[in-house]
Protein backbone atom coordinates (compact mmCIF):
# COMPACT_ATOMS: atom_id res chain seq x y z
CA UNK A 1 0.00 0.00 0.00
CA UNK A 2 1.11 3.54 -0.72
CA UNK A 3 1.00 6.64 1.42
CA UNK A 4 -0.49 9.74 -0.18
CA UNK A 5 -0.92 13.46 0.22
CA UNK A 6 -4.19 14.72 -1.23
CA UNK A 7 -3.90 18.41 -2.07
CA UNK A 8 -6.56 21.00 -2.62
CA UNK A 9 -5.53 23.31 -5.45
CA UNK A 10 -6.72 26.91 -5.03
CA UNK A 11 -5.34 28.38 -1.81
CA UNK A 12 -2.82 25.56 -1.28
CA UNK A 13 -0.91 25.03 -4.55
CA UNK A 14 -1.70 28.43 -6.03
CA UNK A 15 -3.01 31.75 -4.81
CA UNK A 16 -6.80 31.78 -4.78
CA UNK A 17 -8.80 34.50 -6.49
CA UNK A 18 -12.46 35.42 -6.07
CA UNK A 19 -12.98 35.26 -9.86
CA UNK A 20 -11.46 31.76 -10.39
CA UNK A 21 -8.00 30.70 -11.50
CA UNK A 22 -8.11 29.21 -14.97
CA UNK A 23 -5.48 31.11 -16.97
CA UNK A 24 -1.79 30.35 -16.64
CA UNK A 25 -1.01 34.07 -16.29
CA UNK A 26 -3.21 34.12 -13.16
CA UNK A 27 -1.76 30.89 -11.72
CA UNK A 28 0.58 32.19 -9.01
CA UNK A 29 2.48 29.57 -7.02
CA UNK A 30 3.21 30.81 -3.47
CA UNK A 31 6.74 30.69 -2.09
CA UNK A 32 7.57 27.32 -0.59
CA UNK A 33 5.01 25.26 -2.53
CA UNK A 34 7.57 23.67 -4.86
CA UNK A 35 9.91 22.93 -1.93
CA UNK A 36 7.03 21.45 0.07
CA UNK A 37 5.95 19.21 -2.81
CA UNK A 38 9.49 17.98 -3.29
CA UNK A 39 9.91 17.24 0.44
CA UNK A 40 6.76 15.12 0.35
CA UNK A 41 7.72 13.34 -2.89
CA UNK A 42 11.23 12.60 -1.58
CA UNK A 43 9.63 11.11 1.56
CA UNK A 44 7.80 8.61 -0.66
CA UNK A 45 4.31 10.11 -0.80
CA UNK A 46 2.05 10.00 -3.82
CA UNK A 47 0.84 13.53 -4.54
CA UNK A 48 -2.73 13.81 -5.83
CA UNK A 49 -4.63 17.04 -6.44
CA UNK A 50 -8.31 16.99 -5.39
CA UNK A 51 -10.14 20.11 -6.52
CA UNK A 52 -13.65 21.44 -7.08
CA UNK A 53 -13.82 23.34 -10.36
CA UNK A 54 -17.35 24.76 -10.40
CA UNK A 55 -16.36 27.33 -13.01
CA UNK A 56 -16.72 24.58 -15.60
CA UNK A 57 -20.40 24.08 -14.68
CA UNK A 58 -20.86 27.85 -14.67
CA UNK A 59 -19.47 28.07 -18.22
CA UNK A 60 -16.57 30.31 -17.18
CA UNK A 61 -13.82 27.98 -18.37
CA UNK A 62 -13.22 24.45 -19.68
CA UNK A 63 -11.70 21.19 -18.49
CA UNK A 64 -8.82 21.97 -20.83
CA UNK A 65 -8.17 25.22 -18.93
CA UNK A 66 -7.95 23.23 -15.67
CA UNK A 67 -5.52 20.77 -17.25
CA UNK A 68 -3.42 23.59 -18.75
CA UNK A 69 -3.01 25.09 -15.26
CA UNK A 70 -2.13 21.64 -13.93
CA UNK A 71 0.51 21.14 -16.63
CA UNK A 72 1.94 24.57 -15.78
CA UNK A 73 2.21 23.59 -12.10
CA UNK A 74 3.86 20.31 -13.12
CA UNK A 75 6.39 22.22 -15.22
CA UNK A 76 7.25 24.41 -12.23
CA UNK A 77 7.63 21.59 -9.69
CA UNK A 78 9.46 19.00 -11.78
CA UNK A 79 6.43 16.82 -12.51
CA UNK A 80 6.18 15.45 -8.96
CA UNK A 81 2.37 15.38 -8.85
CA UNK A 82 1.03 11.91 -9.63
CA UNK A 83 -2.57 12.71 -10.59
CA UNK A 84 -5.34 15.29 -10.53
CA UNK A 85 -9.01 14.71 -9.82
CA UNK A 86 -11.43 17.57 -10.35
CA UNK A 87 -15.16 17.97 -9.98
CA UNK A 88 -16.76 20.01 -12.74
CA UNK A 89 -20.23 19.94 -11.16
CA UNK A 90 -22.12 22.54 -9.16
CA UNK A 91 -25.62 21.90 -7.76
CA UNK A 92 -26.98 25.28 -8.91
CA UNK A 93 -25.54 25.08 -12.45
CA UNK A 94 -25.29 21.45 -13.53
CA UNK A 95 -25.94 18.65 -11.05
CA UNK A 96 -25.35 17.32 -7.58
CA UNK A 97 -22.27 15.12 -7.38
CA UNK A 98 -20.60 12.98 -4.75
CA UNK A 99 -17.33 14.03 -6.39
CA UNK A 100 -17.76 17.58 -5.11
CA UNK A 101 -16.08 18.31 -1.79
CA UNK A 102 -17.13 18.09 1.04
CA UNK A 103 -18.07 14.66 -0.32
CA UNK A 104 -15.21 12.25 -0.69
CA UNK A 105 -15.69 10.35 -3.95
CA UNK A 106 -12.63 11.91 -5.64
CA UNK A 107 -10.45 10.72 -2.76
CA UNK A 108 -12.12 7.31 -2.67
CA UNK A 109 -11.52 6.79 -6.40
CA UNK A 110 -7.82 7.63 -5.95
CA UNK A 111 -7.57 5.39 -2.86
CA UNK A 112 -8.91 2.46 -4.89
CA UNK A 113 -6.87 3.19 -8.03
CA UNK A 114 -3.54 3.64 -6.25
CA UNK A 115 -4.01 1.18 -3.35
CA UNK A 116 -3.55 3.98 -0.81
CA UNK A 117 -2.98 3.32 2.88
CA UNK A 118 -5.40 5.80 4.46
CA UNK A 119 -3.74 5.47 7.88
CA UNK A 120 -0.55 7.03 6.47
CA UNK A 121 -2.18 9.65 4.25
CA UNK A 122 -3.34 13.26 4.57
CA UNK A 123 -5.75 15.69 2.94
CA UNK A 124 -4.36 19.25 2.88
CA UNK A 125 -6.74 22.10 2.16
CA UNK A 126 -7.59 25.68 2.99
CA UNK A 127 -11.36 25.23 3.43
CA UNK A 128 -13.60 23.26 5.76
CA UNK A 129 -14.99 21.33 2.78
CA UNK A 130 -11.47 19.95 2.16
CA UNK A 131 -11.17 18.80 5.75
CA UNK A 132 -14.64 17.23 5.68
CA UNK A 133 -13.80 15.31 2.50
CA UNK A 134 -10.59 14.03 4.06
CA UNK A 135 -12.40 12.96 7.23
CA UNK A 136 -15.06 11.11 5.19
CA UNK A 137 -12.31 9.26 3.32
CA UNK A 138 -10.58 8.31 6.57
CA UNK A 139 -7.31 10.23 6.12
CA UNK A 140 -5.70 12.70 8.50
CA UNK A 141 -6.43 16.32 7.71
CA UNK A 142 -4.42 19.53 7.60
CA UNK A 143 -5.90 22.99 7.28
CA UNK A 144 -3.73 25.65 5.64
CA UNK A 145 -4.72 28.98 7.14
CA UNK A 146 -4.80 31.46 4.29
CA UNK A 147 -7.06 33.81 6.23
CA UNK A 148 -9.99 32.91 3.98
CA UNK A 149 -11.70 30.37 6.20
CA UNK A 150 -10.96 28.69 9.51
CA UNK A 151 -12.07 25.31 10.82
CA UNK A 152 -11.69 23.43 14.07
CA UNK A 153 -12.30 20.09 12.35
CA UNK A 154 -8.75 19.57 11.03
CA UNK A 155 -6.30 17.30 12.81
CA UNK A 156 -3.49 19.85 12.25
CA UNK A 157 -3.18 23.49 11.18
CA UNK A 158 -0.33 25.31 9.46
CA UNK A 159 0.27 28.60 7.68
CA UNK A 160 1.62 27.11 4.45
CA UNK A 161 2.12 23.93 2.49
CA UNK A 162 5.85 24.08 3.26
CA UNK A 163 5.18 24.15 7.02
CA UNK A 164 2.78 21.20 6.68
CA UNK A 165 5.29 19.30 4.52
CA UNK A 166 8.04 19.81 7.10
CA UNK A 167 5.74 18.51 9.82
CA UNK A 168 4.69 15.43 7.84
CA UNK A 169 8.25 14.54 6.84
CA UNK A 170 9.85 15.42 10.19
CA UNK A 171 11.99 18.18 8.64
CA UNK A 172 10.97 20.77 11.20
CA UNK A 173 12.68 24.11 10.63
Least confident of 9-13, 15-19, 93-97, 129-133: 93-97
Give the C-alpha separation, 70 to 67, whole Å: 5
Over residues 71-122, the pLDDT tens digits come to: 999 999 999 999 999 999 887 777 778 899 999 999 999 999 999 999 999 9
Q: Is 130 a catalytic residue?
A: no
User: What pLDDT score was predicted for residue 23?
Assistant: 95
Instruction: Read off the pLDDT of each residue in 61-76 and give the average, rounded to a whole number.
Output: 97
Which of 8, 103, 126, 130 is labelled catalytic?
8
Which of 10, 65, 103, 130 is labelled catalytic?
10
User: What pLDDT score was predicted for residue 105?
Assistant: 97
Q: Is 8 a catalytic residue?
A: yes
Band (152; pLDDT cuts 50, 70, 90): confident
| pTM more than 0.85 | yes
DSSP 71-136: HHHHHHHTS---EEEEE---TTTS---TTSTTS-HHHHHHHHHHTB-GGG-EEEESSHHHHHHHHH
Band (172; pLDDT cuts 50, 70, 90): low
Q: Where are the domains of the chain?
A: 4-169
Percent of the chain's residues with pLDDT above 70: 99
20: region left, alpha or beta (phi > 0 left; psi from -120 to 50 alpha): left
Q: Which fold has domain 4-169?
A: Rossmann fold (3.40.50)
Least confident of 23-27, 42-46, 89-93: 89-93
Amino acid sequence: MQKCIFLDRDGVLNEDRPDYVYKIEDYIIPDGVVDGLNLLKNAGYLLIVITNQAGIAKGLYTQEDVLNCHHFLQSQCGGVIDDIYFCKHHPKYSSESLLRKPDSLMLEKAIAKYNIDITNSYMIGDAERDVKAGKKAGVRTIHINTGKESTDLADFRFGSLLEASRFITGHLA
